[in-house]
């Protein structure tokens, strides 16, 4: 699948705050923006809310952080969606064999 560069301008302070929030959520800003575009297209609208204030009581976000950390430790944090789907398909083949 072809990819394209998306660029836009924002205030430095807004960018730094966004980076800080993403880091607290266990991801980087680029990953967040890719996720937003993917989900926006998939849902044909804004389908989710993630607030830093909810982190202490949100087990889902904690699981996401743990998964991100494990992915980084294993060198797979930058896998594309196609690569992830191929890994899942291969794992399913092995289970069904």
Q: Is the pLDDT at 57 greater than 90, yes or no?
A: no
Q: Which contiguous run of DSSP H or E holds residue 16?
A: helix 12-24
Q: What is the mean pLDDT of residues 13-22?
A: 94
pLDDT digits (tens, 9 = 90+) for 58-85: 677 778 888 888 888 888 888 888 888 8
> Torsion angle of alpha carbons 37, 40, 41, 45, nearest 10°?
-160
Q: Where are the domains of the chain?
A: 12-96
CA distance 49 to 68: 19
């Amino acid at each position: 699948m072809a990819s394209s560069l998306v660029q836009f301008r924002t205030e430095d302070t807004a960018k730094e705050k966004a980076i800080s929030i993403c880091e607290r959520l266990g991801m980087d800003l680029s990953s967040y923006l890719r996720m937003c575009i993917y989900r926006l297209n998939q849902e044909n609208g804004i389908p989710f809310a993630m607030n830093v204030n909810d982190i202490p009581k949100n087990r889902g976000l904690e699981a996401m952080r743990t998964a991100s950390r494990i992915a980084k430790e294993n060198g797979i944090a930058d896998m594309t969606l196609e690569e992830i789907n191929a890994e899942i398909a291969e794992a399913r083949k092995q289970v069904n064999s």
